Amino acid sequence: MSTAGKILASGICRSDDHVLSGALKENFPIILGHEAAGVVESVGEGVTTVKPGRDFGIPTGLMYDGTSRFTYKGQPIYKFIGTGTFTEYTVLHEDSVAKIDAAAPPEKVCLIGCGFSTGYGAAINSAKVEPGSTCAVFGLGGVGLSAVMGCKAAGASRIIGVDINKDKFAKAKELGATECVNPLDFKKPINEVLFDMTDGEGVGYSLEVIGRTDTMLAAMASCNMNYGTSVIVGVPPTVSEITFSPSLIFTGRTWKGSIFGGWKSKDSVPKLVSDFMQKKFTLDPLITHTMPFDKINEGFELLRAGKRIWSSGLNGLTWPEIMAFVVFWCFKNPSGEESDSDSDPCELSSPRSTDHTIHNGISLGKNRFYYVASSNAIVD
């Protein structure tokens, strides 16, 4: 029950960079990327929720059989979170694709495939922010700003942004933060600062959108000790652990995590896109760069330098004709049986051209991050 499609736009998320840095442990070689919008070009047997043509999709989940539809010289190439959207053409399980409004701009709504939905939903669905409440958002990157938007949409009367980069404060206030603080400006711990700012009450809700264990503890300790709720949104390093005093939660605090903002992706993504098209929220302030696919490495550098919120990568600004890496016959061999042989048609080859090389890579020690590139890419 798979679909083959063309990726039109994909966001660069911090989680992708965590894989490159080693903070998240994944198998290599790997195609990163997990928030994208594209068009379905062919479908496998039994697929009913999308069809070829103007049905756009946003990858939102995993392939169930644990296999990859991408191989190179008989060896599997893995896809990050089962999606791997840093590619021009891909194959996804039907459940990983949500049908959305075909008029939606892919370079914007691709963010609904992960980052925006994660932050926005963490406030609305996971924290369940109430009208008139006080919130603190730790980390004002793209997901953190989306959490600020979620707190505002939920009716919070006070939203405190927390970040060590003051350059992010103006954008945070534009999107709903009532004030912003830099922990480096204080000699006392940030949780004590927030208690002082709230007359000793603490915040009703805190959202940690960084992925560090120290800020997770600080966010929790910033909450009201009897009824405060803290939500872990940032992706923690694979090997990280937290040690804390039971008294931190014994008095009544609630500590919880949030994946994809608590949305049921297959149902919620189309609705979020519809809400965007109806101007119930905006995505434009979250996009600082729109770049062609061959500038993906520059997008990562901007991310690491803190100079971008989100970079939305387009597979060619003029939508050039590019080779199809996967097509419908990738799922079955001529006999109708699934094949895992070296001659499997799921090999990354093109029905339009066979004179090409397939990958471009960024070295990472003994590992290599692969993204599927266009016909002039090389393997080095």
Find out whether 261 and 234 touch, Cβ atoms under 8 Å.
no
151 is catalytic: no
Rounded to a whole number of angstroms, the distance between the first and last alpha carbons of the chain is 34
Question: Token pair 């479908």 is at which residue?
Answer: 43
Nearest to 119 by CA among 149, 96, 152: 149
Active-site residue flag, 18:
yes
User: What angle is formed at CA 4 by the lines to CA 39 and CA 260, rounded to 5 degrees?
Assistant: 70
> Residue 230: in which H helix or E strand, if any?
strand 229-232
- If 0-12 CB within 10 Å is exposed, 13-18 middle and 19+ buried, where does residue 317 land? exposed
Active site residue 93: no
- CA distances to 125, 150, 273, 316, 353 from 58, in Å: 20, 21, 10, 18, 28
Is 114 one of the annotated active-site residues of the chain?
yes
Q: Which of 18, 133, 146, 312 is catalytic?
A: 18
Among the listed residues 114, 180, 223, 330, the single catalytic one is 114
Within 13 Å of residue 155, how many CA atoms lie on the same side as its CB?
5
Q: Which of 2, 10, 34, 258 is catalytic?
A: 34
CA distance 221 to 134: 15
Catalytic residue among 2, 15, 206, 230: 15
Candidates 13, 180, 223, 330; catalytic one: 13
Catalytic residues: 13, 15, 18, 34, 114
